[in-house]
Copies of this chain bind each other. A is one copy, B any other.
Amino acid sequence: MFGARCLLRALRSCTSAPCPRHKPSARLSVRDALGARSTNGERVKVQGWIRSVRSQKEVLFLHINDGSSLESLQVVADSSFDSRELAFGSSVEVQGQLVKSPSKKQNVELKAEKIEIVGNCDAKDSGFVHIHTPIITSNDCEGAGELFQVEPSSKIKVPEENFFNVPAFLTVSGQLHLEVMSGAFTQVFTFGPTFRAENSQSRRHLAEFYMVEAEISFVESLQDLMQVMEGLFKTATMMVLSNCTEDVELCHKFIAPGQKDRLEHMLKNNFLIISYTEAVEILKQASQNFTFTPEWGVDLHTEHEKYLVKHCGNIPVFVINYPLALKPFYMRDNEDGPQHTVAAVDLLVPGVGELFGGSLREERYHFLEQRLARSGLTEAYQWYLDLRRFGSVPHGGFGMGFERYLQCILGIDNIKDVIPFPRFTHSCVL
């Protein structure tokens, strides 16, 4: 229930990450400050980002985090401090006295004597426009065929064979519609339900699930795209942790002990990057026996994804440049060989496996035309090809499974436990 808005807000702000100035003088990390035994009013300096601001008549409470701990340090300032720039996401340097907190929620708090804004954070400037992409569509984005078809129920009489004149399906992704809109708004996102008619009983599949999808014009490298993905994951998670502390702690305490440390580990490390080709090599050299033998040109299975994450020290890992033959027509050709790849990227995370999928899109008319022709899709995707004829730009985007995201941060094993009304094969209760 709590995650959606935080996630959207984070997506809007994640491109405007503040740029901290590093000072040579000694300072205390948030972790060290929180763990301080003696609080004889010693003067300290803490640097970090503001995770929440709560103002009362005479006093201002800030929570500061610097990534050294999942917990934030409470800063107490009197009302003489100008609170306007002390906004969520701003980076600050706080000097003051570390004192025993009168509240039971924390042992210590920092009584501010000086607060310096290092980098402002105006979340309004990130410029992602929220688009409602349609649920019913005549496209099949992935070409995967795992579609639900939509027809008026047998009770209704419509003169024509199809209500919409053409076969209509439930959307598997808003990507193609976002690509239309990114051609006008530059940076767009959608957050809504998507559907797969997968006959699966797994712990990470639903027939109806939510995706955050983003599409960004004028992006020319996977590197830029991965920066937004990592930023979204980390910013959203920090926001959830600071705004929904009690909900998260409940899950960590009763369902997933140890999850707090695992999450902290993910947040404080830079995500890793390996190529698909490297990934296959790692899997081939693994001592573990897999049910599906890893081989170049074959899709990674869940068991492979989980092994790769473990191999990377349980830090989320981007796998990039997948075989062209495995991926849909719209992914950008890397023009390499003999192992021909496209500029695709998946983010694998501990416990869940694939969390994000994305790619640069093929913006070059003739490349796309040939790919469509080879798949026999030229006629159906003429409108999509037209987007490359009129003002085409390099662009790319990604989607993140929202329920898998909740599984990942909360440590919930079964995806059916993070959605109020789960839909899957053989089950559509209420």
Which of A161-169, A271-279, A361-369 makes up part of the contact surface?
Answer: A161-169
The one of B84, B132, B207, B420 that contacts A163, using a Cβ cutoff of 8 Å: B207
Q: Does A135 interact with chain B (Cβ within 8 Å)? A: yes
CA distance A4 to B153 in the complex (A): 30
Contacting pair A138 B428 (CB below 8 A): yes
Q: How far is the CB of A92 from chain B (nearest CB, A)?
A: 16
Q: Does A26 interact with chain B (Cβ within 8 Å)? A: no
Q: Does A302 interact with chain B (Cβ within 8 Å)? A: no
The one of B129, B145, B170 that contacts A1, using a Cβ cutoff of 8 Å: B129
Chain B positions within 8 Å of A154 at CB level: 149
Contacting pair B131 A420 (CB below 8 A): yes
Contacting pair B129 A150 (CB below 8 A): no
Interface size on A, residues (CB 8 A): 68
For A151, give the chain B residue with the smallest CB separation.
Answer: B149
The DSSP consensus for interface residues of chain A is: loop
Chain B positions within 8 Å of A148 at CB level: 136, 150-153, 163
Q: How far is the CB of A93 from chain B (nearest CB, A)?
A: 18
Contacting pair B165 A134 (CB below 8 A): no
Which of A29-37, A38-46, A176-184 makes up part of the contact surface?
Answer: A176-184
User: Measuring CB to CB, which residues of chain A are less than 8 angstroms from any residue of chain B?
Assistant: 1, 4-5, 8, 55, 60, 79, 82-85, 129-139, 145-156, 158, 160, 163-170, 176-177, 180-181, 185, 192-193, 195, 197, 199, 207-208, 210, 383, 419-421, 423, 425-430
Given contacts A83-B84, A136-B148, A147-B152, 12 further A-B contacts (CB under 8 A): A1-B129, A4-B132, A131-B420, A133-B421, A135-B193, A136-B195, A137-B430, A149-B151, A149-B154, A156-B199, A163-B199, A164-B427
